[in-house]
A and B are shown apart, each in its own frame.
Chain A
Amino acid sequence: MGKTQNLYDRIAAAFFFGVGAFFALYACTIEIGAWNEPGPGFLPFWGGIILVMMSLSLLAITWKRVGLASPSFFPESDSWKRVTATFVALIAYNLVFDVLGFTLATFLFIGFLVKFIFPQSWLRSFIVAASAALIAKLLFVNFLQTQLPKGFLGL
């Protein structure tokens, strides 16, 4: 059976309920203050309470409503692989680019995405990655004087 919008809304409601409750409880640990002298926890507390009430309302609505079938979460069977791989590449780049240096990390990052997300030939991927890394270095480091990590190779 296909997923319905109701299911998505319930998941979202649960998430926002958690966020609201967290902020409201956290606000209690700092000073909420009074109406005539609101403290730093005033807005987080009342905002959290309002978010909890709204997510409960969203939950209640989904219970009453007839669930409309939603299109599948991913439009193609392998979409999830591309999405996950792109996020992983972003995280990996952030983790290693100070160690590898901006130019090398950029070369690997672009090369990976060009080769594996919408697969291109090895030669094309190499040329795109190398030129992107080189142009990015010239643009950001040499021209715009952006301080980017050089890594162990000093690139």
Chain B
Amino acid sequence: MDLWNHILLGVQVCLDPLNLLFCFIGVVMGTLVGVLPGLGPTAAIAILLPNTFHVSPVTAIIMLAGIYYGAMYGGSTTSILVNIPGEASSVITCLDGYQMARKGRAGAALGIAAFGSFIAGTIAVLGLMLVAPPLAKFALAFGPPEYFSLMLLGIAILIYLAAGSILKALIMAVFGLLIGTIGMDSISATQRLTCGLLELCDGVGLIPAIMGLFGVAEVIANVEQEIKREFVTTRVRNLLPTLQDWKDSIWPMIRGGFLGFFIGILPGPAPVISAFTSYAIEKKLSKHPEKFGTGMIEGVAGPEAANNAATGGAFIPLFTLGIPSNSVIAVLLGAFMIHGIQPGPMLIANHPDLFWGTIISMYIGNAMLLVLNLPLIGIWVQVLKVPYPILFPLILLFCLVGVFSLNYSKVEVSLMIGFGVFGYLARKFQFEMAPLVLALVIGPMMESKLRLSLVISHGSPLIFVEKPISALFLLISLALLISPMISKIGKRRQKLQKIVEGEEV
């Protein structure tokens, strides 16, 4: 009964015309971002964040969440039509989606991707409603040591999944933690490395850092050489899948939906891992695995469903523990804080309108995407045809204005450019961005939990192993970090690394 009341509350919040409008703007912007290669949802949320300051937190979060799952929809369009994934999570869709397009079945591929995303989005929303509240209650028992160890586990997972050397990923994580210490110390109010700049008192801004590392660095890497794109020029038609298409796709969609949701709960690049896993499962279950890669509709339906459901699952750690599981959620965490809301176990109890409103908006947003995107595919194809030499200055302009309008500060714009230089060089030197970003975001939280734990235990670091939940998190972290040394697991990790390479986490 309580659940129904909460759902009704969510529906009430969502049906507010302003919230509906912002949900619409969010999903359309998200699709646009997903369509355009070189601009991910992280940068898009960061760019649009300042424009949400004048609306209520619920409205803002509804729009920003819309960008995230909207981007997953948009990513499939580029994979199918251009063979370039707009998002890393749509890489696998290229295999069969593009082949379908070459055979004149682009419409069916795009249609099934949209329906698959909608069905999986529904599964994720239902899962989120059922799993988040009990998990939040469980998390209430967490103290500073448990939180510290959990955050360490989040970083350890990203390090484990980082492409290339674990040592380099560890270096980036520690570097991120150190940058996170810049600013006023929250316990003693001591200024640390602020150089007398007011902008640094609250620490290094998350938005300038993310826009620099992902937005500017990505654009700069792309201007090294001109990107050539090959289009499928046949007209996109017959978007509604046939009965046979439905028969072939319905189970892959449902399987992908559940798989994506559960993988989404774990920290890391869940959309991309779930899409690849779903593809592998469908290939294994298929009667014709040899035909995968030649235009099998199951190879589009499963992964597209999985990556969309994973975005729903990724909200669980944020809503229940206040911990971001990837860089997109990290920016959303920043958005919560800017709007004066502290995500964590108390969020659902203290702000039920926000939690249930956002969840129901995801459902409504998914329906909007389905209704809008099928007829709008023609427009997205036109957007894709905008040449990169014209597109990239506009992306840079959005980054510049987005960061400046946060606090009207040129120092923050300089920081963004600085992070852009660093991000560009780090890519060249094969250093992973994900551990740095996550460490930067949760660094200040980790520091305060670490210091509180040590004060509670009178200086004994054993407190982290004496508490059973904390000890479990530490054990898993340790296992993840040393497991690549065991050759069999090391090989499995290399496979995973190939999958997540290039992902924006």
Taking CB atoms, residues of chain A closer than 8 Å to B428 are 8, 73
Interface of A is mostly: helix
1/0 per residue, CB under 8 A from A, across B34-50: the answer is: 00000000000000001
Q: Chain B interface mostly helix, strand, loop or mixed?
A: helix
CB-CB < 8 A to B421: which residues of A? 87
A86-105 with Cβ < 8 A to chain B: 86-87, 90-91, 93-94, 98
With A12-B429, A38-B450, A79-B224 known as contacts, the answer to whether A31 contacts B461 (CB < 8 A) is no
Do A40 and B171 touch (CB < 8 A)?
no
Task: State in angstroms the CA–CA spacing of A109 and B396 once bound together.
Answer: 10
Q: Residues of B contacting A26 with CB < 8 Å?
A: 192-193
A36 near B174: Cβ-Cβ < 8 Å? no
**One of B127-135, B240-248, B309-317, B384-392 contacting the partner:** B384-392
* Nearest CB of A to B329, in Å: 24
For the complex, give the distance between the alpha carbons of A55 and B396 in Å.
Answer: 33
Q: Is the CB of B220 within 8 A of A86?
A: yes
Q: Whose C-beta in chain A lies nearest to the C-beta of B461? A: A35
Assuming A48-B178, A90-B396, is B219 touching A118 (CB within 8 A)?
no
- Contacts A75-B225, A110-B397 hold; do A35 and B459 have CB atoms under 8 A apart? yes
CB B219 to nearest CB in A, in angstroms, measures 7
B201 at the binding interface (Cβ < 8 Å): no
What is the 8 Å Cβ interface bit string for chain A, positions 120-145, against chain B (1 contact, 0 not)?
10000000100010001000100011
Q: Please report the C-alpha to C-alpha distance between residue A15 and residue B48 in the assembled complex, in whole angstroms.
A: 34
Quick one: which of A8, A73, A144 contacts B51, CB cutoff 8 A?
A: A144
- Check B185–A40 contact: CB distance below 8 A: yes
Chain A stretch 46-88: residues in CB contact (< 8 A) with chain B: 47-48, 50-51, 54-55, 57-58, 61, 73-76, 79, 82-83, 86-87
**Which residues of chain B are within 8 angstroms of A132 by Cβ–Cβ distance?**
393-394, 397
Pair B50/A146 contact, Cβ less than 8 Å: yes
A113→B187 contact, CB < 8 A? no
Give the distance in Å from the alpha carbon of A93 to the alpha carbon of B403 in the complex: 13
What per-residue 1/0 map shows which CB atoms of B428-457 lie under 8 Å from chain A? 111100000000000000010011001101
CA distance A111 to B16 in the complex (A): 42
Cβ A94 vs Cβ B414 within 8 A? yes
Is B405 an interface position by the 8 A CB rule? yes
* Contact between chains at A118 and B388 (CB < 8 Å): yes
CA distance A130 to B74 in the complex (A): 29
B226 & A118 in contact (Cβ 8 Å cutoff): yes
Interface centre among A23, A40, A98 (most CB of B within 10 A): A40
How many Å from the CB of A64 to the closest CB on chain B? 13
Within 8 Å CB of B404, what residues of A? 148
Q: A39 contacts which chain B residues (CB < 8 A)?
A: 188, 190
Assess whether B458 is interfacial by the CB under 8 Å rule: yes
- Cβ of A110 and Cβ of B167 under 8 Å apart? no
Chain A, interface size: which category? 35 or more
Q: Is the CB of B417 within 8 A of A87?
A: yes
Enumerate A1-38 residues with CB–CB distance to B below 8 Å.
5, 8-9, 11-12, 16, 19-20, 23, 26, 30-31, 34-38
Other-chain residue from B165, B178, B190, B401 in contact with A30 (beta carbon distance below 8 A): B190
Whether B178 and A113, one on each chain, are in contact in the complex, defined by CB atoms closer than 8 angstroms, is: no
- The CA of A140 and the CA of B401, in the complex, are separated in Å by 8
Q: Which residue of A lies closest to B51 (CB)?
A: A144
Residue contact B192 to A120, C-beta cutoff 8 Å: no
| A38→B461 CA distance, assembly (Å) | 12
A54-B167, A57-B167 given; A40·B190 CB < 8 A: yes
Within 8 Å CB of A9, what residues of B?
A: 168, 429
A117–B430 Cα distance when bound, in Å, is 25
CB-defined contacts of B461 to chain A, threshold 8 Å: 35
Ordered by A's residue number, 18 sampled pairs between the chains whose C-beta atoms are within 8 Å are: A12-B168, A19-B175, A35-B454, A38-B455, A39-B188, A41-B192, A43-B451, A44-B181, A50-B174, A51-B171, A58-B167, A75-B224, A106-B397, A109-B397, A110-B393, A117-B393, A120-B390, A146-B51
Binding site for B on A (CB under 8 A): 5, 8-9, 11-12, 16, 19-20, 23, 26, 30-31, 34-44, 47-48, 50-51, 54-55, 57-58, 61, 73-76, 79, 82-83, 86-87, 90-91, 93-94, 98, 106, 109-110, 113-114, 117-118, 120, 128, 132, 136, 140, 144-148
Q: Which 9 A-B pairs have the closest CB atoms?
A: A36-B459, A35-B459, A118-B389, A40-B185, A113-B393, A79-B224, A40-B190, A38-B451, A146-B405
